[in-house]
Structure 1
């Protein structure tokens, strides 16, 4: 902020010097005229005692003031009119001027007043006395015996002349010194000044009448007492009014401090503080609280706001700690600067303490609000950005794309570039995740640098990036821009002293006419995998090559009808103890009973459901049917857990956990009787997103099974991110368990891992007895597949369990061990940990 206080002070000083100089010149001329008149019209020299009395009277009258402090100066009203007019009534006017000036000079010397102020006071006194002298002379004073009352009239006129000259001479100087207008200076305390003038005039007339008429001079003894009483009364009146005005200004300033902007609080406090305390400068220093910031104001101008600068010290500096009343918080230091000698009275000290406490509270509130605002902005930024690379995340990309499509006009084309790094897993496996993170950050930086203004670069998770290209003049430019961005990745990346080549494949999709960002993402994903398969750096989505697109769009248009008419049905496939053949649970498998296409499996319609916005209704229908089946079996004596496949998109819905728990309560099904199956093919970034919902469900008692185990990301990484209770071995390994030693090794290692983590293991896709025996020998204790039963309705599964095998209800296969080789343990529900009890282990 520019430093303007020096120029302002210089201008004020020059104006004061000009005004005072003008007054001194006028006074010198008037004094010369007075003494010339006295020289040309000689009069007898007054008695020395009278002159000394007049000097003492003038000194005392001008020393006893009703003070009002303006900045470093103390200005006030005096009783100097009384000795002046009394002297003019009975002594030669030139001697009155000389004695009054001498008395005032003595007072100024005693109080060590500044030379400029002393000279101004003497010059003003010369002008005032000369004006009164002129009026008395013109009025024919002293009066004659034939004209009674003339003395009072003449003295009144002389007093008015003195007062007018005093106002004319003093008010411009006062206005400049206090940086106000002349009109404001005249209006200030005008009523009180008029009352004081009336009282003084009455006193002057009273004294002069007694002296002029020779009345009882003993009455003069009451004059000093009267003056003292009037002085005390007037002083009390002005002090009370000044205190009230000061409190009003303080209350107004305190109200103005109620702001959430720290800068506004500091500037208001600094500028208004100078007015409230009539100081030459106000400084607020926040360095005490650890912030290198100083705010200074002179008058109504803020002259500095920033780090602490150097400055000249004031004659008087009064400081006050900015702290709360209980001393629990200290914001800084408040300093009032005065050019002259100033001492605050008790009232002013209390007012300063009150002001400091209010300012401290305002600073603390503004600082807290600023910190809260910063945290909100940081949280908003974190919610929209990837923590590793600083790029926008998936949610921000979707929001930005939605806004782009909603406000899209004809000024350009929008497209999405989806980028996936090739062989990135090898970097993590070989050099570690720290090196992989370094590569991802460098890729993010290069893509961001290559982006055009208006484009949005995002990291979707793992090694997958996306760039939303906007304002493209032509669709063909999208491919050119994509190649340019991917070309920035060709230069090798240095990680831990090694040169790493980054290869990537990109899929380009132009903004579709319908389907929004979800359809755009799907098309870009198809194009990216086409590029990977073809070994090309980029491929643009072509509708003719999207074989699933037409059928999915047709099905998507029928979803609303399917949900309304309950075309989605649920079949159940039992999960069996491999050793005993006993049914231990059942998996719910959704089917679409399409009126034209027959039964459709989730592979044929699930992606369409997820993209359509009908996923919540579909998930609710499947969950309701699964819980109804659980009720049916439990009433028949088969208390079986039911497993339901859950889409990661459902877990992104914050209300999903509460919806699930509400349905459990409505069906009166214990939470540990529900198992959610989640595909292990999810990426770690996706698991991070859905982890909150999974933890909430797990804490309520719902169990989680990891489906297709062994085909997705590293198992230990998955298990460290979500609260898993069961592992389901993928059917690919189960089908090869007899012929592939690698498959058998995977199954055995999975069983060992599950035992060490107290998890249960289920083999999916058991098709034959040899597979069952092989799995049993490897330690796998549960499985499901066509060997035991195909998916069937809840009622049919109940009938099958009631019928059983070999007269054993609840079993679907013969036991693998004879009665003497196994100890039967009663089945029980899982304990407080939420883990399900393992079925019977092989002997």
Structure 2
């Protein structure tokens, strides 16, 4: 309802009530019975009481209007019970006019007088019909007390209905609120007051029955009761206001800024009986304005675009925790309003709570933004914005877990051919431009549900989902590669990007890692064949099929401790005494029995389970060493190390932590390194080995002599021991070449102050031949097969011929070979061999 239409209806309502009141007053004046001189004082006193009762007990402001609550009904009921209805109307008119004459608005004065005149007419008429018919000549004479009580109740009901109906109607029109809401506001307060007025009227009437002069005692009584009621109402209203304020503050305690602002502007008008509330934030660009009324959002957006509003406003500043003023909370009224001291304090309290809520919401939003950025960065490639390897693997794992009948899953790996030439020729900036354009094209060519990722360098991957048939996977892969064929313009130059892609369907077992491996096999097949794409096929996979099956069982094997360690003793070839032991990992497979590292190690290295596997082997080896030491056999233990473990920067610290946990000196651990240790990433390997060696851990080079880079590796890696491969040991008796290799290895070790161990010693002739060539230590089935730690301890305790720690008869009864001293010099003392 617009303001003009509402004002028109308001004036019409006032006019109708004023007309009705005038008619009632005119009829009462014409029909009023004469008043004896002795009753004039009583009428005057009653008029004064009505005037006193008609003054407001308390003013309750709603929006721009103030509604007065008074005790008029009590004085009016006294008049109804003691004087004729005509004089009730006349005295009511005079009393209310006296009470309201101070109001400067003629319309309000007219309305209040007319409303109470009409209500008094209804009350007097009702009492008269029920049976209360007082006589001016005999004031205070009552025929029947029951009829008096019944008449007062009926008169109070009639007065209340007319007064509430007219009062709520006019106030609803004045404040633009619903009639029902206006009626329900303070309804319990109104009912209690009207009930108390009935009791007051009944007591006053019974008092007047004794003497009409006692009517004057009602004036201080009414004033005292008004004061008490006023304090009670004010206290209650104040308590309810603070409760509503606390509820509003609780509603502001949310983490979303928009919710904070919306809640504030829709709840604040009800707190202060305002027509509207708005929040203006000045510390944002552009300044933001949110406006609302009770339970309704009116406007939200830039301040410059907000509709203009008329009326009176009251403001409270909003302050940030450190930045000073951030905006303002504004109350808007249609007419000028002045808040009392309590309301002003409540407004400042609300503004402070709102400032805190805005600060908290902004802090949460910033925290959420930073968290989202971190999560995005953790899952995306910073150069291209594509998903990274981690996100690809996690998404693939989720897809594996949720696979159903909605299609097949496939992986496409893409590698750019000759991309290094772009970086070398045009620079890395141009290379980055090419990678970004490739990423854009791949993402554009992907279907909904696909995930495009950059794995690193010039390698990309696409997880293809919801494939109806394998043929669709090949078609989609070809389409992805086709999108890279158009030239890419970099610095004005047109570059043609060539790529190879490998497509693999999700396997029945092996999980994500196996899917990636198969796609990788297919990609290199495409590269070798000069094709753009190739699909994985078992026939072209060089990996052992049994090993592939094992890949899917590694997680279970690690979790259920299916890996264990056997130990093979290393003995002094001359004396037969055990000098150390080598740890040999085994996999006790529930179906395939005990598997050797040759059968599963490559699968472990590719699976991502290598750190857990290596840690488990080291833990069991050091545990065995501690048991042997406690039994009196202080034997070093040798543990094989995968080259991939040395690429893990945390590996040295893990080894040293395990040693410390078992109180094992570092020099009692020997790490055996593959002689074919790759030269790529050699700087990383060097750092890891140097850290271990500096801490006292001994290093051995395994299978020495089988690789093509033995001497170059030996010159770079600071080892303490060389292990001669069993291939040479087996042929030492029959092959002069094998004997020459062993002799040269022993001579080299002696010149570098390294020890030598021969592997695979199977017979006494081999043992004797090795000893004669200068090799002092060996291991093999001649002495003992690999066995569990407890069994090896029992073997050591039993010994050979009852001698503990001896596993073979000495080669010479009269003497023994003197062992070489351990090398103490640093890596810098190792002579560099010519390449």
**TM, length-normalised to structure 1:** 0.70
Counterpart of 1:578 in structure 2 is none
Counterpart of 2:63 in structure 1 is 71
Deviates more, 1:331-340 or 1:34-43: 34-43
Counterpart of 2:197 in structure 1 is 197
1:550 paired to 2:545: yes
Give the alignment partner of residue 164 of structure 2, picking from 128, 147, 167: 167
Q: 1:205 to 1:389 in 2, by over 3 A?
A: same
In structure 1, what is the Cα distance between the partners aligned to 2:598 and 2:563? 19
Give the alignment partner of residue 531 of structure 1, picking from 526, 535, 546: 526
Deviates more, 1:78-87 or 1:294-303: 78-87
1:598-613 alignment, distance < 5 Å: 605-610=600-605
In structure 1, what is the Cα distance between the partners aligned to 2:423 and 2:703? 28
1:27 paired to 2:18: yes
Counterpart of 1:390 in structure 2 is 385
Report the alpha carbon displacement of residue 440 of structure 1 after superposing the two structures with TM. Answer: 1.9
1:148 paired to 2:141: yes
1:453-532 alignment, distance < 5 Å: 453-532=448-527
Offset from partner CA, 1:299-330 (integer Å, 9 cap, x none) = 12222344435342541314253668xx8998
Give the alignment partner of residue 429 of structure 1, picking from 424, 444, 469: 424
SS of residue matched to 1:548: coil
In structure 2, what is the Cα distance between the partners aligned to 1:783 and 1:491? 62
Counterpart of 2:112 in structure 1 is 121
Deviates more, 1:273-282 or 1:467-476: 273-282
Structure 1: give runs of 5+ residues left out of the alignment. 1-9, 575-584, 680-705, 752-758, 813-824, 828-835
Instruction: Name the count of aligned residue pairs.
Output: 746
Report the alpha carbon displacement of residue 432 of structure 1 after superposing the two structures with TM. Answer: 3.6
Report the alpha carbon displacement of residue 496 of structure 1 after superposing the two structures with TM. Answer: 3.9
Report the alpha carbon displacement of residue 263 of structure 1 after superposing the two structures with TM. Answer: 3.8
1:339-358 alignment, distance < 5 Å: 339-358=334-353
Counterpart of 1:694 in structure 2 is none
SS of residue matched to 2:141: coil
1:690-769 alignment, distance < 5 Å: 708=677, 710=679, 712=680
CA contact under 8 A between 1:505 and 1:531: conserved in structure 2? yes
Report the alpha carbon displacement of residue 451 of structure 1 after superposing the two structures with TM. Answer: 0.4
Give the alignment partner of residue 279 of structure 2, picking from 272, 275, 284: 284
SS of residue matched to 1:181: helix
Report the alpha carbon displacement of residue 532 of structure 1 after superposing the two structures with TM. Answer: 0.8
Report the alpha carbon displacement of residue 148 of structure 1 after superposing the two structures with TM. Answer: 1.3
Report the alpha carbon displacement of residue 499 of structure 1 after superposing the two structures with TM. Answer: 3.2
Offset from partner CA, 1:607-630 (integer Å, 9 cap, x none) = 223467875674245424664798
Report the alpha carbon displacement of residue 418 of structure 1 after superposing the two structures with TM. Answer: 1.0
SS of residue matched to 2:336: coil
Counterpart of 2:799 in structure 1 is none
Give RMSD over aligned pairs.
5.8
CA contact under 8 A between 2:52 and 2:223: conserved in structure 1? no
**TM, length-normalised to structure 2:** 0.71
Q: 1:253 to 1:140 in 2, by over 3 A?
A: same
Report the alpha carbon displacement of residue 147 of structure 1 after superposing the two structures with TM. Answer: 8.3
Report the alpha carbon displacement of residue 441 of structure 1 after superposing the two structures with TM. Answer: 2.0
Report the alpha carbon displacement of residue 528 of structure 1 after superposing the two structures with TM. Answer: 0.7
Counterpart of 1:809 in structure 2 is 819
1:48-87 alignment, distance < 5 Å: 62-80=54-72
CA contact under 8 A between 1:765 and 1:784: conserved in structure 2? yes
Counterpart of 2:295 in structure 1 is 300
Offset from partner CA, 1:716-765 (integer Å, 9 cap, x none) = 79999999778999999997789xxxx98xx99x97xxxxxxx9699999
Deviates more, 1:628-637 or 1:535-544: 628-637
Deviates more, 1:605-614 or 1:517-526: 605-614
Q: 1:762 to 1:346 in 2, by over 3 A?
A: farther
Offset from partner CA, 1:527-570 (integer Å, 9 cap, x none) = 11111111111111121222434342477699899998878657
CA contact under 8 A between 1:573 and 1:784: conserved in structure 2? no
Give the alignment partner of residue 315 of structure 1, picking from 300, 312, 315: 312
SS of residue matched to 2:387: coil
Q: 1:184 to 1:650 in 2, by over 3 A?
A: farther
1:172-183 alignment, distance < 5 Å: 172-174=169-171, 177=175, 178-179=177-178, 180-181=180-181
Offset from partner CA, 1:329-349 (integer Å, 9 cap, x none) = 987543333333333333333
In structure 2, what is the Cα distance between the partners aligned to 1:598 and 1:54? 114
In structure 2, what is the Cα distance between the partners aligned to 1:447 and 1:572? 57
Q: 1:572 to 1:14 in 2, by over 3 A?
A: farther
Q: 1:470 to 1:372 in 2, by over 3 A?
A: same
SS of residue matched to 2:409: strand
Q: 1:39 to 1:436 in 2, by over 3 A?
A: same
Offset from partner CA, 1:141-199 (integer Å, 9 cap, x none) = 43454981269947886665444321221133445645443652473413432255236
Report the alpha carbon displacement of residue 793 of structure 1 after superposing the two structures with TM. Answer: 7.2
CA contact under 8 A between 1:282 and 1:334: conserved in structure 2? yes
Q: 1:77 to 1:566 in 2, by over 3 A?
A: closer
CA contact under 8 A between 1:708 and 1:730: conserved in structure 2? no
